[in-house]
Amino acid sequence: MNDISRTRSAELYEKAQKYFPGGVNSPVRAFKSVYGTPLFIERGDGCFLWDADGNKFIDFCCSWGPLILGHNHAAIRENVIDAVARGMSFGAPTVLENELAGLILNNNRMIEKIRFVSSGTEAVMSALRLARGYTKRDKILKFEGCYHGHVDSMLVKAGSGLVTFGETSSAGVPKSFADETIVVPLNDRKAVEEAYRQFPGQIAAVIIEGVPANNGLLIQDKEYIGFLREITSTNKSLLIFDEVITGFRLGFEGAAKYYEIRPDIITYGKIIGGGMPVGAYGASAEIMSRISPEGAVYQAGTLSGNPVAMAAGIGQLTELLRPGFYEELNRKTEAFAQSIRDFAASRNYKLKVFSIGSIFWFAFTGKNIQKAEDIDVLSMEQFKMLHRELLNRGIYLGPSGYEVGFISAAHTKEELETAKRAIFDSLDIIKPTISYA
Ligand SMILES: *Cc1c(COP(=O)(O)O)cnc(C)c1O
């Protein structure tokens, strides 16, 4: 099969290289881990994308998660147009902030108060400052394989050893910042216990993704999350769930409800803004009272609670509250994932399809994967081939094998059938018979 035409996208990318570092405004968009140049997207509708060359795709990236209703959903679009007609920003309170907060707080028992910001990164940065201000401690424990946005102190990776100070994983992060971050492997109780032994009374918070979904889909056991709840409480640290992906995705109340575990602070992003730049963090009224102007932890934003972004969030979250919304979406995803598992098994292909809620991830292995170190980099060559075969068959996945896929309410049975057939055909070409890991 010939590769799709990318003439126009390639021209646009060449021009973009003159304007932006690497030709993009966020690194993974550059297609460095897959074949070809990035596709420039012209428009999206429902579960479909069209690129600048007129190619049409079924989209499983969904803007990296925000578009749980698919592209160009009428309810969101109409809300946004309404808001835009009344002005784009005032730097003063509007009723739309109350409305979105009301929708969330009246239907999410995990938090009592919320603060809106403009990205997931900003939500995490603020949550960490709040945890430090609240506990009067400095160290944060994070997990290898969890991504929390490009916050300085979170751009750290594990060194060697069970419990390590973070080593910076980006130039420009002072070592002294990384020294306040402790990095341990996921799914390893001993490592967390050891960290508390080594740094008694110093750990402000443990931060974990609701379900780690930025470095493969590393589904943790419920008991392990319960253990984190317990050890943080015992040691008077806070437990932060970074639910920028899982919030409003696993269900309206996110991973916290999924585990039936109440964290101390939760961060949101992606879905909460319906495709507009919104992030948020929330906690009990008591913890949130520490935030400025009520408390001493400073946090602000010129465009925070932006009316157009709030209107988009209101449009999206209102739809999510319809009875049966998540049951239907999650059932559809599980059936999709299971049929690919069945196909792979029937052919003896070494492919695992991990899935939870409406998130899925292809891993070229025969093993269960719960830690970053379980992922074999060699398996990424297989993903690279899969990505190309799927693009050629009109299926768009995020351009990296470490990224998860998302299914939206706009993916109908028919389109999921089409996608499945394309995936089966692609697998029959790649024939993944080696189990990596
Ligand atoms: C995407 C993401 C972030 C960062 O959000 P941005 O809006 O890209 O800044 C933080 N944490 C998690 C878990 C994410 O998936």
Pairing type for strands 238-242 and 265-268 reads: parallel
| Range 207-220 average pLDDT | 97
What are the catalytic residues?
147, 242, 270
pLDDT in tens, 296-322: 999 999 999 999 999 999 999 999 999
The pLDDT of residue 95: 98
CB 205 within 8 A of CB 140: yes
Q: Residue 313 is encoded by which pair of tokens?
A: 């969030």
Strand, helix or coil for residue 179: coil
pLDDT score of 163 more than 80: no
pLDDT of residue 265 exceeding 90, the answer is: yes
Of 213, 427, 399, 211, the closest CA to residue 339 belongs to 427
Using CA atoms, how far apart are residues 31 and 39, in angstroms rounded to an integer? 9
The dihedrals phi and psi of 139, each to the nearest 5 degrees, come to: -85, 145
pLDDT for the residue numbered 218: 97
Q: Give me ligand 1 centre to Cα 72, in Å.
A: 22
For 41, the 3-state DSSP assignment is strand
Nearest alpha-carbon partner for 67 in 396, 419, 378: 396
Q: State the DSSP code for 314.
A: H
Sheet architecture: strand order including 359-363: 352-356, 359-363, 405-406
Q: Is the Cβ–Cβ distance between 257 and 251 less than 8 Å?
A: yes
Mean pLDDT of 46-63: 98
One-letter amino acid for residue 220 of the chain? Q
DSSP state of 91: S
Per-residue tokens: 402: 């470490």
pLDDT of the residue at 182: 96
- Pocket probe for ligand 1: among 26, 64, 147, the residue whose CB has the most ligand atoms within 8 Å is 147
Q: What mean pLDDT is predicted for residues 10-32?
A: 97
The DSSP code sequence of 290-331 is TBTTTSSB----TTTT-HHHHHHHHHHHHHHTSTTHHHHHHH
420-427 average pLDDT score: 98
Mutational test site, ligand 1, from 148, 246, 402, max ligand atoms within 8 Å of CB: 148
In ligand 1, the atom with minimum distance to the C-alpha of 243 is 13
Which residues, in sequence order, are bridge partners of residue 278?
none
> Is beta strand 359-363 parallel, antiparallel or unpaired with respect to 405-406?
antiparallel
Q: What is the best residue among 246, 270, 400 to mutate for testing ligand 1's pocket, by most ligand atoms within 8 Å of CB?
A: 270
Residue 165 is predicted with a pLDDT of: 74
Report the pLDDT averaged over residues 135-158.
95
* Average pLDDT of every residue of the chain: 96
CA of 162 from ligand 1 middle (Å) equals 26
Pairing state between β 203-209 and 265-268: unpaired
pLDDT average, residue stretch 244-273: 98
Give the DSSP H/E element, type plus range, for residue 116.
Answer: strand 113-117
Q: What is the pLDDT of residue 434?
A: 83
- Which ligand 1 atom sits nearest the alpha carbon of residue 267? 11
Evaluate if residue 166 carries a pLDDT over 90.
no
CB 8 within 8 Å of CB 40: yes
* Average pLDDT score over residue span 267-277: 98
Q: What is the pLDDT of residue 183?
A: 95
Measured in angstroms, how far is the CA atom of residue 120 from the centroid of ligand 1?
4
Ligand 1 nearest-atom number relative to CA 242: 13
Q: What is the structure's pLDDT at 159?
A: 73
* Cα(279) to centroid(ligand 1), Å: 9
- The number of the ligand 1 atom at minimal distance from the alpha carbon of 277 is 7
- pTM beyond 0.85, yes or no: yes
Task: Say if residue 353's pLDDT is above 80.
Answer: yes
pLDDT interval class at 59 (50, 70, 90):
very high
DSSP H or E run through 343: helix 325-347
Mean per-residue pLDDT, 384-395: 98
Q: Which amino acid is at 45?
A: D
Number of neighbouring beta carbons within 10 Å of residue 72 = 15
Query: Mean pLDDT throughout 155-163?
Result: 78
Three-state DSSP at 189 gives: helix
pLDDT at 426 exceeding the cut of 80 = yes
User: 142 C-alpha to center of ligand 1: Å?
Assistant: 15
Ligand 1 atom nearest 26 alpha carbon = 8
Q: For residue 168, what pLDDT band results from cuts at 50, 70 and 90?
A: confident
Q: Which atom of ligand 1 is nearest to the CA of 246?
A: 13
Backbone angles phi, psi at 241, to 5 degrees: -95, 120
Query: 30 phi and psi, to 5 degrees?
Result: -75, 0
Q: Which is nearest to 351 in space by CA: 383, 323, 322?
A: 383
CA–centroid distance, 155 to ligand 1, in Å, is 12
Number of neighbours of residue 262 by Cβ within 10 angstroms = 15
Q: Helices 222-234 and 189-198: crossing angle, nearest 10°?
A: 10
Report the C-alpha gap between 66 and 158 in whole angstroms: 29
How confident is the model over 60-114, as pLDDT tens digits? 999 999 999 999 999 999 999 999 999 999 999 999 999 999 999 999 999 999 9
Alpha-carbon gap, residue 129 to 47, rounded angstroms: 38
Q: How far is the CA of 429 from the centre of ligand 1 (A)?
A: 34
Domains delineated in the chain? 7-71+324-430 (3.90.1150.10), 74-320 (3.40.640.10)
Q: Give the closest residue (by CA) to ligand 1 atom 14.
A: 244
Q: What angle do CA 359, 362, 364 make, to 5 degrees?
A: 160
User: Residue 90: phi, psi to the nearest 5?
Assistant: -125, -20
* Average pLDDT, integer, range 347-358: 97
- Ligand 1 pocket test target in 146, 209, 214, 271 with most atoms within 8 Å of CB: 214
Q: What is the pLDDT of residue 171?
A: 92
Residue of the CA atom closest to atom 6 of ligand 1: 120
**CB distance 180 to 142 below 8 Å:** no
**181-184 and 139-143 as β-strands: parallel, antiparallel, unpaired?**
parallel
Q: What percent of the chain has pLDDT over 90?
A: 95
Give the three-class secondary structure for 161.
coil
| Protein residue whose Cα sits closest to atom 3 of ligand 1 | 149
- Name residues contacting ligand 1 (CB within 6 A): 119-121, 124, 147-149, 209, 214, 242, 244-245, 269, 279
